[in-house]
Structure 1
Amino acid sequence: MTNSELPGWLIPPPEGFYAEDLDHLPDLPPHTELIDGSLVLASPQKDFHTLMLYLLENGLRRAVPADLRVRREMSVILGPRQRPEPDVIVFHARALRGPDATAYQAEDLVLAVEVVAPESEERDRKRKPLLYAEAGIPHFWLVESSEGRAAVNVYELDPTTHSYVLSGSQQGRVRLTVPFDIDIDLTEIDRL
């Protein structure tokens, strides 16, 4: 492959990319994120990751009140050079932008969920939670796998420090009353 055959986005501009660029770069691979102005390409996911996304998406969809919606793998604009793609989001229905929407705004979100994957472990555990908290997303879940079992670490935003505080870890079953009543049986993953 010659340089003229390479996609233009492979070489970033000197100032890096901006959130709106993701909608205009031709032939960008699916699930490309923008973190600190740099493109982050997604790797193939392990079965645990895919099954957990399905389980959480369906469980949250059953639980959300009428004024909220759930989306899977939809990007969120956190700032001019930040457009990550949380694994699952819960957002206000008033923010619906129609079938051609490619992203939601941080202020639309109630919850962002990341399922830790080996290739994105550092971003999922450290960088993304920091970005979500700075953007004011009130709730964050970090889902970890230990020997094929899920642990959902539940965080709430501390408005004073603009950082997340661990409010608990759920294993086997997610039972919460905030941000709304939630009851998800994590052991269902064994039947999927």
Structure 2
Amino acid sequence: PVPYPISLIGAEGDVDRALQTARESGLVGVEDVLPSIHDLESVGAVRDAVAAALSDYQGQILTLREQIVEDIAAAEDIAAAAAAHEAGIQVSQGARCGVCRRGLWSRACYAFACGHACHGDCLVRLVTPELPAALQGAVAELCARIRTMEADADELEERGGEVAPRDAARLGELRDKLAGRVAADCPICGYLAISMVDKPLVDDAKAREW
């Protein structure tokens, strides 16, 4: 069907009314009305409307250009952060866990580009309660599967055997998946720490025990 503002031109020759109706409807623009204008006098009547439309389009283009620049900058920041995450991180021999403050090298640990590091189990205990319920269950399942596979691997090695490459690769995949759930950001100075700023240091149950 022909849009109503355009039908006004055909039926009544009322260009001004057609433009006003087009603006109010928000469904068609000046560019939709122009093809229906055939005489020079009517074209002159829409000069201001065309100029305003062009100015509006220019503003939209500038806004999109600014958004593109911001998106490119954000993409570059993400790429830089990913590169920093993948780069080697030096951790001193006497480093301590940022959560329990005990020696870092006593068990499996995570190190972050910011310089903080913590035991894997300490990280899981700290981060898991802050995750959505569905992810909490996924983390618990991953930890259980990793513990089982690690125990089986240790037992096999104690008997002088070797872990099959396929099993080693699967264990690595599970560890990577767990890292994606709990170690995507530093819990000491990242978003998690910021979200926990307003939380009490001692929960109500422990406070009542004291």
Give TM-score, length-normalised by structure 2. Answer: 0.24
Larger Rg computed on CA atoms: 2
The structure carrying a bigger strand percent of its residues is 1
The structure whose RCO (Cα within 8 Å, separation 6+) is larger is 1
The structure carrying a bigger helix percent of its residues is 2
